[in-house]
Amino acid sequence: MGNDSVLNESVPAGRFEYAGLDRLLHERARLGILASLAAQGRGLAFADLKRLCGLTDGNLSRHLAALQAAGVVAITKDFHRNRPRTTCCITASGRARFAAYLNQLEQVVADASAMVRSQKQAVRRAPLPHGAV
């Protein structure tokens, strides 16, 4: 009799695939690293980045290595006041890749918000069962 499918057939296949959610960037720690670096034009010292992201030296190093291998971040090592200093910054291509990722993430949020709003409206419009107060 009735169609059990909740999905409107007019929604194109793959509509909610979100292929732009870059797996490299989607990891929580990497997302924090890139958000921190994107906010800083000249980059951040390793210690500052570690503090901002709440990571250990080893975790931060591992995530930075993955991002550096993909060309998303650049890492420079030098000396400042006779002390070694590691500075991390997002590359131009990394910034573009992160922006594309954020655009896709915004679409996920917009889609989910629209679905929640439509579900709330459907619940408000639904008739109460017989005998319900």
What CATH number should be reported for the domain holding residue 56? Answer: 1.10.10.10
133 in any annotated domain: no
User: 57: closest CA among 29, 76, 82, 79?
Assistant: 29
Stretch 43-49: mean pLDDT: 96
Give the range of the structural domain holding residue 98, as residue numbers without chain letter: 23-122
Residue 41's pLDDT band, with cuts at 50, 70 and 90, is confident
Ranking 1-10, 45-54, 88-97, 123-132 by mean pLDDT, the lowest is 1-10
130 in any annotated domain: no
60 in any annotated domain: yes
Q: How many domains are there within the chain?
A: 1
Q: What angle do CA 111, 113, 10 make, to 5 degrees?
A: 40
> What pLDDT score does 11 carry?
74
**Is pLDDT of 89 > 70?**
yes
Please give the Cα distance from 29 to 71 (Å, whole number): 17
8 in any annotated domain: no
Stretch 17-32: mean pLDDT: 91
**Is pLDDT of 106 > 70?**
yes
